[in-house]
Chain A
Amino acid sequence: MQQIFNFILKNSNRLLFLLLLVISFSLTIQSHSYHKSKIISSANFFTGGIYDRINNVNEYFSLKSQNDELALENARLKSLLYNQKDTTKVPQIDTIKGVKKTEIIVSKVIHNSYSIHENYLTINSGEAAGVRPDMGVINSAGIVGIVDKTSKNYATVISILNINSKINAKIKKSNHFGSLVWNGKSTGFVQLIDVPRLAGVRKGDTIVTGGQSIIFPENIGIGTIDKVYIDNVTNYYTLDIKLFNDMTNLGHVYIIKSKDAEEISNLENQSKKDE
C-alpha cells in the first residue's frame, strides 16, 4: 500500500499529464463523430454570449454590404411578385392541416470560421426560437450549412466548408444528382462528386439542392460549375462549384424548418428496423 502511494506521489505530474491528455484525446475523437459532446462547443452560454457581444461590434463594419444584400433580395422578391401571372394565387398550403410545409426562422451569424478543415458557424437563435439539430441553413444567395447542435439561445452550424459535410445536390438543367463535399482547399469552391458520366455538364451550369434530402427544399441555389474532372477511380464526374455565397462574409441567415422532416425520418427509421 505504502508503495502505491509513493508511486502516485512520485509520478503525480506524469499521471496528471496522462489523465489530461486522455481527456483531451477523447474529446477530440468524440468531436469527429457525428453528434459530438455538448459542452465543448461555441453554442454554450459562455462562449455564445461572448461571441454575441463581439458580433454586436463587428456588425457595424459590414452594415453597408448587408444592406446591399437585403436590398438585392428585396428587388428579386419584388420582381417575382410583380411577374406572377395569376395574381390570385396564394402560397401553397397543405389543404388538410391548413399550414405551410416549411417555416423560416431568421437568425444572425455571430461567429464564422473558414480557415480550418472543419468549419462551424455559431448563430444567435436556439431551441427557444424552434431551432433543432439537422435543420438546413441558407441565406439570400444560397445554402450555408446544417444545424449541428443547439442550446437555449444559440446553435452551431456545420458549414458547407467542412470536410465532413455531405449534401445532396443536382444540376439544375438536367436533374442529375451528386453529393456536395468540400476538399478543404479554397473557401470559394466546393466539389460535386459522383455525377454520372451521362450527365451533360458544361462550365457555367447552375447547381441547386436536390429533392432527395429532407433537410433542404428543392432548388435552392448553390453555385455554378467552374471546372469538370473525371475521377480516375470511379469514372464519375467531379465538378468544382463556384459558390454563389461568400462564405467569409455572412450576416443574416434563414433556418428552414420542414414540418415533414421528422415524419419522414421516423418513417425511414421504422422501415430500416423492420428489415
Chain B
Amino acid sequence: MNSALLGNIARFILLLAAQVLVFNKIDLFGFINPFPYVLFIILYPVNGNKMGLLAASFFLGILMDMFWNSGGVHAAACVVLAYYRPAIFKFSFGLSYEYQTVKLNDVLTPERFSFILIAVVIHHFVLFVLEVFKMSFLWDILVRTVLSTLFTIITCIIIIYIIKPNKR
C-alpha cells in the first residue's frame, strides 16, 4: 500500500518536472506541444482510490496552469479525464478490468493503445476548447487537438517503454 503511494508521488513529481523542464520547450512547428504529464492519470493504479485520483489530478492541473499562465484550463481537463477514466477502462478492456488483470506498464496491445488514445483525446479536446473559448477558432482547435494528441501519444508510449520494469 505504502509503496504504491510513494510510487504515485514520485510519478507526480517526475512527470510534472519533465513536463515543465523539457516538454514545454519543444514547440514543434511553433504550436505543437506534447503533454505527457497526463501519464500520471493514465498510469494511476486501476483499483486505487478514486477520490485520491480526482484530487491529485486537480492539483497536477493547477500546477500546470501556474506554469502555463492559463487560468484553470489544465485543471479542468485533468479532472474530466480522471472522472471518466473508469468508463474508458470499461470500454477498452471490457468488464474484467476491475479484477486487477490490467497492467498498463507493459507491451503495447490494441486494448492498451485504445485506452491511451481515448484518454489523451478527451484530455486534449477539453484543454484546447477551454483554452481558446471562442468558436471562431474551431478549425484551429481541431488541428491543434489532432496534432498534439498524436504527439502526446507518441511521447507517452516512448515513456512507458522507457520506464517499463524489466522482467527478464
A residues touching B (Cβ–Cβ < 8 Å)? 12-14, 16-17, 20-21, 23-32, 36-37, 39-42, 44, 46-47, 50-51, 54, 111, 113-118, 120, 122, 156, 184, 186-187
Contacts and interface: CB of A to CB of B under 8 A. Distances in A.
Interface stretch (B51-59, B89-97, B100-108, B152-160): B51-59
Given A24-B62, A42-B69, A120-B69, 15 more contacts: A16-B51, A16-B55, A17-B82, A21-B80, A28-B71, A28-B72, A28-B73, A28-B76, A30-B72, A41-B66, A42-B66, A50-B20, A114-B27, A116-B70, A117-B137
Interface residues of B, number: 35
Contacts of A46: 66
Contacts, number: 107
B75 interface: yes
Closest 5 CB pairs of A and B: A31-B71, A27-B72, A24-B72, A24-B75, A24-B76
Given A13-B50, A17-B83, A115 B62 contact: no
Contacts of B98: none
Nearest to A51: B67
Contacts of B33: 115
A114 B69 CA distance: 12
Contacts of A32: 71, 133
29 contacts: A13-B50, A13-B54, A14-B83, A21-B76, A23-B72, A24-B73, A25-B72, A25-B76, A27-B62, A27-B71, A28-B73, A28-B130, A29-B71, A30-B71, A31-B71, A31-B72, A39-B66, A40-B62, A42-B67, A44-B66, A46-B66, A50-B20, A50-B67, A51-B67, A54-B21, A115-B27, A115-B30, A118-B70, A122-B69
A36 B72 CA distance: 11
Contacts of A17: 54, 79, 82-83
Interface of B: 20-21, 27, 30-33, 50-51, 54-55, 58, 61-62, 65-73, 75-76, 79-80, 82-83, 130-133, 137, 140
A12 B70 contact: no
Nearest to A148: B69
A157 to B, nearest CB: 10
Contacts of A116: 31, 68, 70, 131
B33 to A, nearest CB: 6
Contact of A20 (B27, B54, B71): B54
Given A42-B67, A47-B66, A184 B137 contact: yes
Contacts of A12: 51
B76 A117 contact: no
A187 B30 contact: yes
A225 to B, nearest CB: 22
